[in-house]
Amino acid sequence: MPEPFVAYLRVYEPLSSFESSVREQLSGAVERGPVQQSRAGLREQDVWLRTQLTAPPQLLPGENRRRGSADDVLVLSPEQVPSGPAATVGPGPLVCPLDLRGRCAAALVGFLGDADVPLRTAALSVDADHARAQASSVVSELSDGAVHVLSSTWTVPLPWFVLVDPQEREVVAGERGTDRVSWRVAMADARRRVTRAHAVGKQSIGEDGPTKILRETGRWLERFHPHSAVELDYGGLVQLMSESDVEADTSAEDVHAIVDAMETGDPDEVSARYEGLRDFWGEFAARERHN
């Protein structure tokens, strides 16, 4: 079974920054063995499928476990995170809980709000009102924190590239081509870049579209420890990419160039860079319609 065609934006916080009860659970998960970054999508897929194979099926992962349990985490050391001179990362280990229960609940609330009645009926094993109430209850538990992972199917939201240093891309090759494409960045550097890009976008194109995504992303980053790390990972999208696609991918450079061009008032540069990005990512996004 292929890995889900999902890209991720993740935050890794110092383990020492969590409250004692959560820190104890996360420490246990680290000791049992963290999930490998390259296997995160498959792990999420496996957990979800297992909820549907129980008798009766579970609406959300972890329904039989205590609130706040953290069984799946990703781990980094501060030395794995490039950072600017004014940024501090750590102390280690840095941990990213997958937060599957909360993320699934938020996705379910969105699905119930957008899907047509026949699709909801076919997809759910319980009444839609009951599902909405249960999922909303789980989402409300997140009010004091934030999920550590944002995800996007079939494409990467272009504003996410603002956070990273284009020169710090890491490409991991495998037997069948590219296994992984990712960037890591210190939280302080990510916040600085998103703040600048939001200010430029607001001045240039207003508060809607990409500027709104930048504002929401900045608010999300502010909810985490300032010495955290941020990771942009293409995840399962690399399965759609040939080696030539990876070599031709200048998305991070293009997005940064767009911000610079907006700031200096160069609409021709903005247009040219955006057209290239639309052509590159449009090919992958179009596959969703034919899947």
Q: What is the pLDDT of residues 248-274, one digit of tens each?
A: 999 999 999 999 999 999 999 999 999
Distance, in Å, from the CA atom of 65 to the CA atom of 75, rounded to the nearest integer, reads 23
Q: Any idea how long the chain is?
A: 291
55 burial (CB, 10 Å; 0-12 / 13-18 / 19+) is exposed
Question: Is residue 21 in a domain?
Answer: yes
Question: Is residue 175 in a domain?
Answer: yes
Calculate mean pLDDT across residues 236-252: 93
142, 276 Cβ separation under 8 angstroms: no
Question: Is residue 131 in a domain?
Answer: no
Calculate mean pLDDT across residues 148-168: 94
Structure tokens at 206: 């207003």
Question: Is residue 126 in a domain?
Answer: no
Distance, in Å, from the CA atom of 89 to the CA atom of 51, rounded to the nearest integer, reads 36
72, 35 Cβ separation under 8 angstroms: yes
Backbone angles phi, psi at 91, to 5 degrees: -75, 165
Number of domains in the chain: 1
Residue 61 DSSP code: T
DSSP-assigned states of every residue in 103-149: HHHHHHHHHHHHS-HHHHHHH-SS-HHHHHHHHHHHHHGGGGS--SE
Calculate mean pLDDT across residues 8-20: 93
Question: Is residue 66 in a domain?
Answer: yes
127 CB contacts (<8 Å, ≥6 apart)?
none
Of 141 and 25, the structure prediction assigns the larger pLDDT to 25
Distance, in Å, from the CA atom of 49 to the CA atom of 263, rounded to the nearest integer, reads 47
Question: Is residue 104 in a domain?
Answer: no
Please determine, for residue 68, whether its predicted confidence score (pLDDT) is greater than 50. no
Question: Is residue 153 in a domain?
Answer: yes
Of 184 and 84, the structure prediction assigns the larger pLDDT to 184
Among 47-51, 145-149, 235-239, top mean pLDDT goes to 235-239
Residues paired with residue 153 on neighbouring β-strands, in sequence order: 6
Range of the domain at 266: 6-99+147-289
> What percent helix, strand, coil does the chain show, rounded to 5?
55, 15, 30
Question: Is residue 116 in a domain?
Answer: no
- Look at residues 13, 23, 36, 7 and name the one whose alpha carbon lies nearest to residue 148: 13
Question: What Å distances lie between residue 92 and 79, 89, 103, CA to CA?
Answer: 9, 8, 25
Please determine, for residue 64, whether its predicted confidence score (pLDDT) is greater than 70. no
Question: Which of 7-11, 130-134, 183-187, 204-208 has the least mean pLDDT?
Answer: 130-134
Q: How many degrees, rounded to 5, is the angle at CA 74 between CA 73 and CA 77?
A: 130
Residue 175 DSSP code: T
